C-alpha cells in the first residue's frame, strides 16, 4: 500500500510536525511505503506543481523537485493535515482514499464566518464522496459532529520516549519556570502578555526563576521592556538546543488563549515535566495530572464559530505558583498512571491509523 502525506516545507510549523507524526504511526503499524511531500503552498498547489522540500528533510520525504501529479499517481491513501485543498481532492476522490485532519483554531479569526460556512459545506460534500475526517481530541470531535461533520476521534500522540524517572530539580532553592511562546500566533495566542502580567504580580520573596522562549523578536509583542528578572531566549534554535532548554525547566506554563492541539505541551509531558495550562479545550484535554494548581482559570471565555477563545487569568497563574512555592514540581510527575496513559495513547494512535488505511471502512473502533 502506498501512502502519501502533504505537508508545508517549513520545518518550524506545527503542520510539518503533524505530517511526521502520521508517518511515524503508520511506520510503526508496518506500512513501509509512506512518503511526505513538502509544498510551499498546500492551499494553492495543484497537480501540475513541482514540489520543493529542501527546507524540510525527514526520513519520509520524497526527492526534491518531483511533480505532484507524478507523486500522487499510484497512491492508495493521501493525508491532508489542517489545510483543505479542494481542487486537488476533487481530482483524486474516490480513486484515492483521502484522510483529512483539521485543526479548528483558525475559525476564531474575526471576519471568517463566511469562510467557515463554506468550509463546513465543502467538508460535508467530500465526506459524501468518501473522504474520512479525523479529530484530535474528544471535544473537537463533538464540535465537528454538532455541525453534521462525521469524524473519527483519534488518540493523537507523538513518538517521543516517555520518561519514567522523577526529574532532579534545577536548583535546591529555586524553581525554574519556562514558557515556550513559539511563533506567537494570532492575537498573541500563546498568552505572552498574560505571563508577563503574572510575573509582575508575583510576591517579592518568591523562589521562581522565569525563562521565556520566543521565536519572533521581543519588540514585536509591543509589551514594553521585558522584565529584568526574566531570562529571554529569542529566535530559532535547533531541536537539540530546544530539548536542553525544556529539560532545564522544573515546570512549563502554557497560558494559551486557544490552540489547534498543543504538541509542545504533549512533548513536555513525555519528557516528564509538569505542565500548567489554560483550563479550556484542547489544552486541558492533554493535562495528565489531577492537580488544580496546574490549571489556569480563565477570566472569560467566548465561543467563536467552531472553537473557543479563553482569557487565562494572570491572577490564577500567581495563585498556582504561590501554592507550589517551596515544593518541587518534579515530585508531581511522572506517576505510573500518567506514563501508562501516555503509552496507551501512543498504542491507540498507531492502531487507529493502521486500521483506517488498511480497511475499506471509513472509521475505526473507539480506543479501549
pLDDT tens string 54-66: 556 678 888 767 7
Which spans in the chain are helix H? 14-28, 68-72, 86-92, 113-128, 138-146, 192-201, 239-247, 263-270, 314-324, 336-358
Q: Where is 84: in which H helix or E strand? A: none
Whether residue 69 is predicted with pLDDT greater than 60 in this model: the reply is yes
Q: What CATH number should be reported for the domain whose range is 3-158+343-358?
A: 3.40.50.2000
Sign of CA pseudo-dihedral 149, 154, 160, 166 = positive
User: Euclidean distance between the first and final Cα of the chain, in Å?
Assistant: 27
Of the listed ranges 74-78, 107-111, 292-296, 315-319, the least confidently predicted one is 107-111
What confidence category does residue 155 fall into, taking pLDDT thresholds of 50, 70 and 90? very high
pLDDT at 184: 59
For residue 366, name the pLDDT band (cuts at 50, 70, 90).
very low
Give mean pLDDT, residues 337-363. 87
Which helix (DSSP H) or strand (DSSP E) does residue 354 occupy?
Answer: helix 336-358
- When pLDDT is averaged across residues 124-145 and rounded to a whole number, the result is 96
Report pLDDT for 279: 96
Determine phi and psi for 169, rounding to 5 degrees. Answer: -65, 150
Q: How confident is the model at residue 147 (pLDDT cuts 50, 70, 90)?
A: very high
For the stretch 224-253, pLDDT in tens is 999 989 999 998 888 889 889 999 999 999
Calpha distance 136→278 (Å, rounded): 18
Q: Is 6 helix (H, G, I), strand (E, B) or coil?
A: strand
Q: What pLDDT, on the 0 to 100 scale, is given for residue 183?
A: 65
Average pLDDT, the chain: 87
Instruction: Read off the pLDDT of each residue in 198-216 and give the average, rounded to a whole number.
Output: 93
- Judge if the upstream peptide bond of residue 38 is cis by omega within 30 degrees of 0: no
Pairing of strands 298-304, 307-312: antiparallel
Comparison of pLDDT for 338 and 153, the residue scoring more: 153
Angle between helix axes 192-201 and 314-324 (nearest 10 degrees) is 50
**Is the confidence at residue 101, as pLDDT, over 80?**
yes
Please tell me the least confidently modeled range out of 79-93, 102-116, 153-167. Answer: 102-116
Quote the pLDDT of residue 79: 96
Nearest Cα to Cα of residue 343 among 139, 163, 135: 163
Domains 3-158+343-358 and 175-337 agree in fold: yes
Q: Which of 119, 114, 88 is nearest to 103 (CA)?
A: 119
Residue 112 near residue 80, CB atoms below 8 Å: no
Cβ neighbours for 345, distance < 8 A, ≥ 6 positions apart? 155, 156, 157
CATH of 175-337 among 3.30.70.100, 3.40.50.300, 3.40.50.2000, 2.60.40.1190: 3.40.50.2000
Out of 212-226, 269-283, 290-304, 324-338, pick the least confident: 324-338
With H, G, I as helix, E, B as strand and everything else as coil, classify residue 27: helix
Dist CA 363 CA 296 (whole Å): 35
CA atoms within 13 A on the CB side of 115: 9
Spans of all domains in the chain: 3-158+343-358, 175-337
Amino acid at each position: 500500500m502506498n501512502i502519501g502525506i502533504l505537508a508545508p516545507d517549513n520545518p518550524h510549523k506545527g503542520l510539518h510536525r503533524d505530517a511526521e507524526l502520521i508517518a511515524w504511526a503508520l511506520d510503526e503499524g508496518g506500512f513501509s511505503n509512506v512518503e511526505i511531500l513538502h509544498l510551499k503552498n498546500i492551499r494553492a498547489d495543484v497537480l501540475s506543481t513541482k514540489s520543493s522540500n529542501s527546507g524540510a528533510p525527514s526520513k519520509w520525504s520524497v526527492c526534491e523537485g518531483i511533480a505532484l501529479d507524478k507523486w500522487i499517481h499510484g497512491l492508495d491513501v493521501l493525508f491532508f493535515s489542517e489545510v483543505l485543498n479542494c481542487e486537488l481532492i476533487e481530482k483524486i476522490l474516490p480513486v484515492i482514499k483521502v484522510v483529512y485532519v483539521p485543526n479548528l483554531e483558525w475559525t476564531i479569526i474575526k471576519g471568517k464566518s463566511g469562510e467557515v460556512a463554506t468550509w463546513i459545506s465543502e467538508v460535508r460534500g467530500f465526506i459524501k464522496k468518501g473522504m474520512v475526517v479525523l479529530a484530535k481530541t474528544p471535544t473537537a470531535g463533538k464540535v465537528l459532529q454538532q455541525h453534521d461533520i462525521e469524524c473519527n476521534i483519534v488518540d493523537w500522540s507523538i513518538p517521543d520516549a516517555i520518561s519514567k524517572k522523577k526529574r532532579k530539580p534545577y536548583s535546591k532553592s529555586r524553581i525554574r519556570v519556562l514558557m515556550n511562546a513559539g511563533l506567537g500566533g494570532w492575537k498573541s495566542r500563546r498568552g505572552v502578555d498574560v505571563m508577563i502580567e503574572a510575573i509582575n504580580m508575583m510576591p517579592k520573596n518568591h523562589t521562581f526563576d522565569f525563562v521565556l522562549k520566543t521565536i519572533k523578536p521581543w519588540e514585536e509583542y509591543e509589551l514594553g521592556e521585558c522584565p529584568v528578572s526574566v531570562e529571554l531566549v529569542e529566535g530559532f534554535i535547533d531541536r537539540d538546543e530546544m530539548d536542553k532548554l525544556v529539560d532545564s525547566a522544573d515546570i512549563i506554563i502554557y497560558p494559551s488563549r486557544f490552540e489547534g492541539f498543543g504538541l509542545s505541551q504533549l512533548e513536555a509531558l513525555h519528557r516528564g515535566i509538569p505542565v500548567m495550562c489554560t483550563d479550556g479545550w484542547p489544552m486541558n484535554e492533554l493535562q495528565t495530572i489531577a492537580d488544580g494548581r496546574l490549571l489556569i482559570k480563565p477570566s472569560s471565555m467566548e465561543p467563536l464559530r467552531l472553537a473557543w477563545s479563553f482569557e487565562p487569568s494572570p491572577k490564577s497563574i500567581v495563585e498556582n505558583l504561590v501554592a507550589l512555592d517551596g515544593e518541587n514540581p518534579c515530585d508531581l510527575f511522572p506517576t505510573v498512571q500518567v506514563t501508562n496513559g501516555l503509552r496507551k495513547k501512543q498504542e491507540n494512535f498507531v492502531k487507529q491509523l493502521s486500521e483506517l488505511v488498511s480497511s475499506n471502512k471509513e472509521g475505526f473502533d473507539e480506543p479501549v
